[in-house]
Homo-oligomer: A and B are copies of this chain.
Amino acid sequence: MSPEEFRKHAHEMVDWMADYLGSVEQYPVRSQARPGEIYGRLPETAPEMPESMADIFADFKRDVLPGITHWQHPSFFAYFPANSSPPSVLAEMLTSTLAAQCMLWQTSPAGTEMETRMMEWLRDMLGLPTDLHGVIQDSATSSTLAALLVAREKATGWRANDEGLAQLGAAGITPVVYVSEEAHSSIEKTMKVAGYGRDCLRKIASDDDFAMRVDLLEKAIEQDIADGFTPACITACIGGTGTGAVDPLRAIGEVARKHDIWLHVDAAWAGSALILPETRDMIDGVELADSFVFNPHKWLFTNFDCTAFYVRDPQALERTLSLVPEFLKSREADAVIDYQNWSVPLGRRFRALKLWFVIRSYGVSGLQDIIRKHIKLAEGLYAAVQAEADFEIISPLRLALFSFRYHPSGIEDETQLDDMNMQLLETLNDSGELYLTQNRVRGRYTIRFSIGQTGTEQHHIDNAWAKIQKTARTLGV
């Protein structure tokens, strides 16, 4: 395909893209495709001869679109958002055209240096301590993995990377990690990946607000020390996935300092809201943290993937992850950052560009306006749900997240309530009018309501709430 043919096709696609952005509400939020349906539409084998872009694009519209769940639909209230924005898409267009691989400074100085600047911008926008140094990663999971690895190295006297955990275990060193029971499953996953093992993850019970109980944390650490384990890391959760739980960071940080344990803060979703000064009581004590992660690709209008991972001591991170064979050496290495030494994968896209486009295009005040609007929408909906006698709040409003269930009077059997709400959720999602996710809170099946789509307005919330009430009350109960 020549540059001129590309120009022609790309203009056609831009028109479709602009139309899509303007008409996304016409699609069902969650794809209505059945298992195997899209697979069945795609040929079993690759074509031997070239096919025209007109055919490919037509097939995209006919065969692929029905299998898309529209994450950018303003009635997407499932999971957490992975919101995007027009300036972010523009940047992605340029990024994919340059197709630079930014593993080293030399392989695109602008990739590295803009990343450094954008991480500084974000750090300051969130009110994080100025001695934190950031890097863009693919996911919060990968960042938490990196944190657990540095913590592992530090706690074992920098021996685990070389000797391996098995040999350290034989020498009586078994590192352990602490999280709240409300923490994200990714921490359990990274415990497996990093070789700690799930049995070495201490899940600390939470209080009535779903926040980690620091008295139990301290007790667990002391017990582990007495039993000969090596406390390596505490992961504090700011805005947990299930209930938006916020752990008491300062108190946890003081325990971490006292015992010289790495403190990692997982604010994957809630971190973006920290651009609002009025939310920053959530991270009181953050100056005690050793690392901090949040996802601009969740709630800051920047295409996935874009995770911001901060560490206070980048040398410790590099010492943990760096490996520079001859063909990755460069003469500037001492004067620059080679971000491949800050993450597990070697290859890196030019991901800073979309942050630059988004932050400049909206301005900090513009970004604040949208997140404030989301929180205000959530407050209004939360009050509306509270006001209805046959609905029950299960976890309180945190920023723009809460969970509830339908609970008509006279039904007290928990299994029956679970089944009823499961049916409610599936019916709502099957309607295509909105998309919600379930959770279990202290054993009870609940429905999460998470607001954060770029284009969500009051009427989307009103429509969703009307649909929820009507569907619940006609479930045949």
User: How many subunits of this chain does the assembly comprise?
Assistant: 2
Nearest CB on B from A416, distance (A): 19
| Given A9-B90, A138-B138, A327-B439, A109 and B185 contact (CB-CB distance below 8 Å) | no
In whole angstroms, how far apart are the Cα atoms of A55 and B140 in the complex? 32
Interface residue from B67, B86, B175 paired with A113 (Cβ < 8 Å): B67
Q: Which of A186-194, A259-267, A469-477 contacts B (4 or more CB under 8 A)?
A: A186-194
Contact assessment for B197 and A96 in the assembled complex, using a CB-CB cutoff below 8 Å: no
Q: Is A332 an interface residue (CB 8 A)?
A: yes
Contact assessment for B17 and A6 in the assembled complex, using a CB-CB cutoff below 8 Å: yes
Contact assessment for B242 and A327 in the assembled complex, using a CB-CB cutoff below 8 Å: yes
Nearest CB on B from A274, distance (A): 13
Q: Is A383 an interface residue (CB 8 A)?
A: no
Q: Is A217 an interface residue (CB 8 A)?
A: no
A-B contact pairs, 10 of them (CB 8 A): A9-B90, A10-B17, A35-B105, A51-B361, A79-B101, A138-B345, A141-B346, A142-B344, A164-B196, A167-B199
Contact assessment for B20 and A97 in the assembled complex, using a CB-CB cutoff below 8 Å: yes
Contact assessment for B347 and A305 in the assembled complex, using a CB-CB cutoff below 8 Å: yes
Number of chain A residues whose Cβ lies closer than 8 Å to a Cβ of chain B:
167
Q: Is A219 an interface residue (CB 8 A)?
A: no
A1-55 residues at the B interface, CB under 8 angstroms: 1-7, 9-11, 13-22, 30-31, 33, 35-39, 42, 44-51, 53, 55
Q: Mark A306-334, 1 if CB is under 8 A from B, else 0.
A: 00000000000000110111111101100
In whole angstroms, how far apart are the Cα atoms of A416 and B352 in the complex? 41
Kindly list chain B residues whose C-beta atoms are within 8 Å of the C-beta of A347.
82, 138-139, 141, 297, 304-305
Interface residue from B56, B108, B120, B344 paired with A69 (Cβ < 8 Å): B108
| Given A110-B67, A198-B162, A199-B167, A3 and B30 contact (CB-CB distance below 8 Å) | no
Nearest CB on B from A142, distance (A): 6
Q: Is A216 an interface residue (CB 8 A)?
A: no
Contact assessment for B64 and A110 in the assembled complex, using a CB-CB cutoff below 8 Å: yes
Contact assessment for B169 and A165 in the assembled complex, using a CB-CB cutoff below 8 Å: yes
Contact assessment for B17 and A344 in the assembled complex, using a CB-CB cutoff below 8 Å: no
Residue ID in chain B nearest A170 by CB atoms: B169
Interface residue from B36, B60, B366 paired with A94 (Cβ < 8 Å): B60
Q: Is A421 an interface residue (CB 8 A)?
A: no
In whole angstroms, how far apart are the Cα atoms of A89 and B49 in the complex? 20
A97-121 residues at the B interface, CB under 8 angstroms: 97-101, 105-111, 113-114, 116-117, 120-121
Kindly list chain B residues whose C-beta atoms are within 8 Å of the C-beta of A88.
96
Q: Is A353 an interface residue (CB 8 A)?
A: yes
In whole angstroms, how far apart are the Cα atoms of A92 and B66 in the complex? 18
Contact assessment for A114 and B38 in the assembled complex, using a CB-CB cutoff below 8 Å: yes
Kindly list chain B residues whose C-beta atoms are within 8 Å of the C-beta of A9.
86, 90
Residue ID in chain B nearest A84 by CB atoms: B99
Nearest CB on B from A91, distance (A): 9
Q: Is A363 an interface residue (CB 8 A)?
A: yes
In whole angstroms, how far apart are the Cα atoms of A14 and B9 in the complex? 10
Contact assessment for B163 and A166 in the assembled complex, using a CB-CB cutoff below 8 Å: no
Contact assessment for B172 and A170 in the assembled complex, using a CB-CB cutoff below 8 Å: yes
Interface residue from B14, B56, B105 paired with A7 (Cβ < 8 Å): B14
| Given A166-B166, A166-B175, A364-B46, A31 and B345 contact (CB-CB distance below 8 Å) | no
Q: Mark A121-142, 1 if CB is under 8 A from B, else 0.
A: 1101100000000000011111
Apart from A9-B86, A166-B169, list 19 A-B contacts with CB within 8 A: A1-B86, A6-B90, A10-B14, A11-B11, A17-B93, A33-B110, A38-B113, A38-B114, A44-B120, A50-B362, A67-B108, A67-B113, A68-B111, A70-B100, A79-B101, A84-B96, A185-B328, A194-B194, A305-B347
Contact assessment for A174 and B185 in the assembled complex, using a CB-CB cutoff below 8 Å: no
| Given A6-B17, A169-B169, A46 and B304 contact (CB-CB distance below 8 Å) | no
Residue ID in chain B nearest A34 by CB atoms: B109
Contact assessment for B31 and A6 in the assembled complex, using a CB-CB cutoff below 8 Å: no
In whole angstroms, how far apart are the Cα atoms of A51 and B120 in the complex? 19
Contact assessment for A100 and B68 in the assembled complex, using a CB-CB cutoff below 8 Å: yes
Nearest CB on B from A110, distance (A): 3
Q: Is A270 an interface residue (CB 8 A)?
A: no
In whole angstroms, how far apart are the Cα atoms of A332 and B30 in the complex? 13
Contact assessment for A90 and B365 in the assembled complex, using a CB-CB cutoff below 8 Å: no
